Structure 1
Amino acid sequence: LVTICLYFVDNRAIKDSEDKRNTLFQSFSLYKINTTEERDQLQTRYNNLTKERDQLQTRYNNLTTEKGHIQAKLFVIEQHCQEGWRYFDSSLYFLSTKKKSWEESRQDCQGRGADLVIINSKEEQTFLFNLHQRAWIGLTDSVTEETWTWVDGTTLITGYWGTGQPDDSGQEDCAEIYYEQADPVKTWNDDKCSTNHNWICEKVV
C-alpha cells in the first residue's frame, strides 16, 4: 500500500514537473516570438532610418554641388558684366563698339572664348532686338547657297527675317540683326560678309 501511495505521489510530482516545464516552455516560446517580432520591427525601423539618412545625404551632396555650380556661374557672370557683357537666360552677350567684317567679327568673339550669337528662341531674339544695334549674328549660307547654317554647324530652323529677306542681293551670304523695324521678330537681313558691322558675341555659362 505504501508503495502504491509513493507511486501516485511520484507520478503526480512528475506530472507537476512536466506541467511546469510545459508552462515554462510556452512562456519562453511566447517571449521568443515577441522578442523576434520586436527585433524585426526594430530592424525595419533601422533600415528605414538608414534609407532616409542616405537619401538626405544624397540630397545634401547634390545641393552642395549645385551651390558650387551656381557660385561659379555667378562669378563668371559678375566678371564678364564688369567687362561690358550682358546676361540673359544662361548666356552672356558682348556687343561690340567697333565694326568689322563677318569673319573678323567671329575671330574677335573666338578670342574672347565665345562665338557669334546663335539665336534659339523668340525671347532671345527680342532681347537682342532691344539692344538697338545693327550687328552681325552667327548665321551664314556661304558654304551652301540658300542653306543657312549657324556657327556651331546646325541648320537654321526658325528665322526672324525682315520682309523680303533674305534676298541674296549681290552675294549677301552673312546675316545681321537690325532694329529699324517695328516688329522685333522680323529684323534679320542678309548682307555681304565683307561689310563692316558691329557684332554680338555669345558665351553660354
Structure 2
Amino acid sequence: MVRLQTSNNNLTEERNQLQTTHNNLTKERDQLQTSYNYLTKERDQLQTSYNNLTKERDQLQTSYNKLYEEGDQLQTSYNILTEERDQLQSSYNNLYEERDQLQTSYNLLTKERDQLQTSYNKLYEEKDQLQTSYNYLTKERDQLQTRWEYFRGSFYHYANQFKKYMWIGLTDSQTEGTWKWVDGTLLTKSYWTSGEPNGRTHENCGDIKNYDATNSWNDESCSLSLNWVCEKKLLP
C-alpha cells in the first residue's frame, strides 16, 4: 500500500511537471499564434492592395482532453494517473510538433509577405509608368483632336484657324484650265465661287475663299503664303 502510494505520488508529481511543461508550451504556442495572426493580417492587407491575391489562412485550433477525475481507490487513481500521464506525454509531443509547424508556417508567411511587398512595389512603379504613358497619349490625342475635323467620310487637318484663306491642294499649273489635286487625280466635282476660276495673273492654285459658303473656291497665285488644309479618307 505504501509503495502504491509512493508510486501514486511520483506519478502525480510527474503529471504536474508535464502539466507545467504543457502550459509553457501552450503559452509559447499562443504567442506564436498571435504573431502568426498578425502576419496573416499584414499579408491580407498587402493581398488586398495587389488585387486580393491570397485567401485568409484558417486559424489553428487544438483541443486537449481534460484530466480524468481521481477515484477513491489508490489503484484506480494509479491507473488513471498512468493513463493521464501517457495522454499528456502524447499531447506534449503533439504540441511540440504543432509549435514547429507553426514556426515553419510563420517563416513561410514572412517570406510570402516580403515577396508580395516586392511585387506590390513593382506593380506600383509599373502603374506610375502606365499613368505617365496614359497622360502623354491623352495629351497627344487631345492635340490631334484639335487639329483634325470629320466631314462627310473624311478627316480634315488645317493650320491655325479655319476661318481664313486656305490652300486645298488643287492646281492647274501643268495645263491651264485642267485642275488636278496634288496626288495627280483630276478634279471631278468643284465648288468654285461665282466667277472663279478666272486665271488672272497666273492664278494656278486653288484655295477656300469663303469658309461659310458652299461654293467657296477661288484661284490664286501659287506664290502666296496661305494656311492649308489636308484631307484623309476614312477607311471602309
The structure with higher relative contact order (CA 8 Å, sep 6+) is: 1
Would you tell me which structure has more helix in proportion to its own residues?
Answer: 2
Query: Under a length normalisation based on structure 2, what TM-score does the superposition of the two structures give?
Result: 0.38
